[in-house]
Structure 1
């Protein structure tokens, strides 16, 4: 566009305009420079934010893999080249499609393999420890965008990386053969870790001090990386909040091909009348289906499963003898390991998941009946721990195992016709989280590098539940506790306490020395307004599961007076119920960032 020359009138107004502009400039705050990072032959332009009196630079929506669409669906991810131009990294990228509708994201797209980097302001040449976060969601929901890590980065003085990985069948569809091997979500995570290892130094991060941390399915993912040869050397410490790869919800319990075929039938990629299914043709057909059709079918499959198989999730990691090795080839992680459990892990699942999933109301009438509890609920719980049994096992040993659990978890107010919600929640929480975590801990070599904490805090603002439910510790992890953290005098922000090393007393909070967890002592740190160290977490219930039930299934007998009383047997012994068998913000704890830590 061409402009005319200024007239005399315009010239007369120029001093007024100049004065106005000068007033604006001196009264407006100085514009902040856009943070940028040189990456490859290009650069990333982020954004700056203030957290209290600290500055955090955020670089968002950074691509680390090619779009996993088309022929790349149901395939390992392919690394994306570094940018060769200037890239705007000031907004979140889309989340991966979730297939469980009670955890929706605002913006989803199959092209979703992006990561975010949160960097506290540091002086030139500094090298900060790095924390890489893996979100949970039963491997079927969740996204990195839900976890703004600016507070964690600022208060922890660490660089935090979050990333997306594929969910549901997009990340975990397996046919049990080469047509679709599965574990694609784990491969996505692995590629993100490789990106961090290769590039985090450009953000001021120390690539020799990387802590991998996750919650629930994210924690199970962390432990999968700890044992996988493909992730060796990509990180140096692990923190697992409420989960390990041994958890029954962290691995496929039934042949994965069955779920793949059920999904294919729902989107007309095979038919119920097909006696032989060519898995390659079936998977190729699934690659051509719209995301919406697959997500809708998965929602129906999830609801059907809740009605018939409790919470037996379908899209989970599988032992592929590649990323997930055979048990006798599991790698022992050489670095420090921290695990944590909440005091009410089972509450979220029984009280919320079934309700929000839109299950038919009849399930509530049924699930509280003691005959259903004995005939279906407890056998299913046993079968997920002892996978060589079946939930329809009618043997005397299974019947006795059910009777033992029924007796061990009785609560005031229960009777012979109905169970209490506390019974359902306690059994579920122990079976889903405590048993597998105890097995994991006892399977680790005796070192001075394994630590366990127990989050024993009740945030009153949480609602009707009576404890720290599954995932209720996340506000403490990321520093968004608000009124939750202040309840009962609990430190509102993890940074109020700096655990620089778990072997040192905790300053500003209390003088507690946190000893490692060993098979003999089994010490753990109690995180509460009155913290302390004790040993043998839920020892009586763990003994019931890992000694009593195990012994009944294998030999039909137990050598314990109290257990035999439960079973109506003559006492065969008087041994105590002990675990002598073979077989917050939490940033307070997270700032254990050992390497900063070590």
Structure 2
């Protein structure tokens, strides 16, 4: 989520300013596309990479095409010069994050990085298709320069833009705006790659989709959409699983009304609301977000947050129920998911990113009181996980007990660490393990799990010193070869990561590109990069790799936390409701029965 979350975070290649004399050109079914050849450097080794930037894959989603699924761009009238990034999609930014400049609704572009090396297979290069993060509200493909990853790993890298926020996810529960347009943008870009990547030397049968944070959730959801069969064979999910609780709504009608009302439109009729939003400028839509956050803080983002919805087609049922459905039901989505290869992972202290929302100016000195934990943070957690269900007191007490350091139960510094653990378990750790358990619980599946834990020299998000493992987004540096604009991000000039981080980066790029090539992170390159064999993940051994200064193999990553949330709390919740039902039969003259969903009659 780096720039997707960190605003000024810009992934740029370390490029030689002099171009190769040869202008790369490819002939596709859509017409001729020309690019540029650049030199990139990693670990003092120079590579040549062909870059094709800003290729339109869909018609501009403007006018009557706003709030509609994307339409293919079609053939080029003349040779297309792909030497500049296309504009980024309109987007909102929160907290200290700085918005991208030069955005436009005409933003559905993709970028292709092709190594100037022979492919590993006669069929062509493996393809790595990256979906950026940013909470479905910010980010773009141009932030992630794929030149080093492409060159070091000898794969083709593709990055894309897709629609964000209200423009990407408006769902008023009818044909005028059915939601999840951003996911259909991603899918159309995948179709474009399937049909055209052969002209760039790519093997369309070896496509791996990968993403981070909201991009990771996008990867997971694309892997659960059976109509995608044949568009890719594997996915890499970095810090974002589709079972995140509390994210998905049936629609966002009330949010749509809020936008319309704040643009002085009538909200009495949904046709009028739709007309208002369709005719509004992108700037006026974004202004509603910025004004709302400015007046109400981060708590007010719920009024303007247009996340993915359960539209009945791309997302048929709530993904948060995936774990239960996999146990109790036959599902076409889960069956398709298991036909694909999966590499899934989380960072050491993902929950630290949420410290930014506590409003503290000095995170290093942040302290959490017992009262704040018991009366604010724990109830907030239960509201996120259980929604409208009334949470029994015993469940709250179990959570308080679980997220307490019992050697120092009231220590404000220990409580802040428990808060990070609470946030991490709810939003990242437990959903990630759920997803890997569901995926690997079948025969003949390729499933891998990682935990990225090192404390990097320069973190991408503001992170207090007391957080002793990697924060959210920290793995993006190594994955893309440490190509940051450190001047713009941290006001540091001429920064070079420590040698151990460059070695870490080489290992990670090898794992990622190995998986893209062979569906196995250990092959074809292994001995000269890492002495550790990354084991497959299965429901019995639950083996994973711990990526650190030196990699190692572990078992049962967050297994206890997953059992606590998915089994212990669920059993106590249900037993408590049942016990209340029995009591009511003796405590009232009016006999009644109650179901497990809490309804009585």
TM interval, short-chain normalised: 0.7 to 0.9
Residue 426 of structure 1 corresponds to 421
Instruction: Establish whether residue 491 from structure 1 lines up as the match of residue 510 from structure 2.
Output: no
Deviation at 1:179, TM superposition (A): 3.1
Residue 84 of structure 1 corresponds to 77
Deviation at 1:353, TM superposition (A): 4.6
1:258 to 254, 257, 261: 254
Deviation at 1:539, TM superposition (A): 2.8
Residue 466 of structure 1 corresponds to 468
Give the root-mean-square deviation of aligned CA atoms. Answer: 3.1
2:400 to 399, 406, 419: 406
Deviation at 1:33, TM superposition (A): 1.7
Given that residues 252 and 314 in structure 1 are in contact (C-alpha distance below 8 angstroms), is that contact kept between their aligned partners in structure 2? no
Instruction: Establish whether residue 537 from structure 1 lines up as the match of residue 534 from structure 2.
Output: no
Matches within 5 A, 1:108-187: 108-123=103-118, 127-187=124-184
- Tell me, in whole angstroms, the C-alpha distance in 2 between the residues paired with 1:55 and 1:301: 47
Given that residues 292 and 300 in structure 2 are in contact (C-alpha distance below 8 angstroms), is that contact kept between their aligned partners in structure 1? no
- Tell me, in whole angstroms, the C-alpha distance in 2 between the residues paired with 1:257 and 1:314: 12
> Secondary structure in 2 aligned to 1:175?
strand
Residue 10 of structure 2 corresponds to none
The 1:126–1:473 alpha-carbon spacing in structure 2 relative to 1, beyond 3 Å, is: same
Number of positions where the alignment pairs a residue of Structure 1 with one of Structure 2: 513
Residue 479 of structure 2 corresponds to 477
Residue 516 of structure 1 corresponds to 536
Given that residues 489 and 529 in structure 1 are in contact (C-alpha distance below 8 angstroms), is that contact kept between their aligned partners in structure 2? no
Residue 224 of structure 1 corresponds to 221
Residue 381 of structure 2 corresponds to 381
- Tell me, in whole angstroms, the C-alpha distance in 1 between the residues paired with 2:101 and 2:212: 21
Given that residues 450 and 516 in structure 1 are in contact (C-alpha distance below 8 angstroms), is that contact kept between their aligned partners in structure 2? yes
> Secondary structure in 1 aligned to 2:458?
helix
Given that residues 60 and 115 in structure 1 are in contact (C-alpha distance below 8 angstroms), is that contact kept between their aligned partners in structure 2? yes
Residue 309 of structure 2 corresponds to 318
Matches within 5 A, 1:315-394: 315-326=306-317, 328-331=331-334, 332-333=336-337, 334-350=339-355, 352-355=356-359, 368-387=368-387, 389=389, 393=390
Deviation at 1:232, TM superposition (A): 2.2
- Tell me, in whole angstroms, the C-alpha distance in 1 between the residues paired with 2:229 and 2:296: 36
Residue 296 of structure 1 corresponds to 287
The 1:550–1:496 alpha-carbon spacing in structure 2 relative to 1, beyond 3 Å, is: closer
Deviations 1:96-155 (A, max 9, x none): 011124252132111100010000114598610001000000001111010011001101
The 1:507–1:228 alpha-carbon spacing in structure 2 relative to 1, beyond 3 Å, is: same
- Tell me, in whole angstroms, the C-alpha distance in 2 between the residues paired with 1:111 and 1:147: 20
The 1:526–1:519 alpha-carbon spacing in structure 2 relative to 1, beyond 3 Å, is: same
Deviations 1:57-104 (A, max 9, x none): 000000011111111111111110121301211011110011124252
Given that residues 109 and 161 in structure 2 are in contact (C-alpha distance below 8 angstroms), is that contact kept between their aligned partners in structure 1? yes
- Higher-Rg member (1/2): 1
> Secondary structure in 2 aligned to 1:76?
coil
Give the unaligned 5+ runs of structure 1. Answer: 1-28, 272-276, 559-598
Instruction: Establish whether residue 195 from structure 1 lines up as the match of residue 183 from structure 2.
Output: no
- Tell me, in whole angstroms, the C-alpha distance in 1 between the residues paired with 2:296 and 2:411: 27
Given that residues 54 and 84 in structure 2 are in contact (C-alpha distance below 8 angstroms), is that contact kept between their aligned partners in structure 1? yes
Compute the TM-score of the two structures, normalised by the length of structure 1.
0.79
- Tell me, in whole angstroms, the C-alpha distance in 2 between the residues paired with 1:516 and 1:383: 35
The 1:205–1:280 alpha-carbon spacing in structure 2 relative to 1, beyond 3 Å, is: same
Larger CA deviation: 458-467 vs 132-141: 458-467
Given that residues 239 and 346 in structure 2 are in contact (C-alpha distance below 8 angstroms), is that contact kept between their aligned partners in structure 1? yes
Residue 492 of structure 2 corresponds to none
Deviation at 1:493, TM superposition (A): 2.7
Compute the TM-score of the two structures, normalised by the length of structure 2.
0.78
Matches within 5 A, 1:532-571: 532-556=552-576
Residue 48 of structure 1 corresponds to 37
Deviation at 1:186, TM superposition (A): 0.4
The 1:121–1:315 alpha-carbon spacing in structure 2 relative to 1, beyond 3 Å, is: same
> Secondary structure in 2 aligned to 1:67?
coil
Given that residues 151 and 479 in structure 1 are in contact (C-alpha distance below 8 angstroms), is that contact kept between their aligned partners in structure 2? yes
Deviations 1:363-408 (A, max 9, x none): 999993433432332223223333462xxx3x5x2x2222222222
Given that residues 125 and 154 in structure 2 are in contact (C-alpha distance below 8 angstroms), is that contact kept between their aligned partners in structure 1? yes
Deviation at 1:312, TM superposition (A): 9.0
- Tell me, in whole angstroms, the C-alpha distance in 1 between the residues paired with 2:412 and 2:503: 40
> Secondary structure in 1 aligned to 2:172?
coil
Deviations 1:463-499 (A, max 9, x none): 6343211111101110116754635785243478565
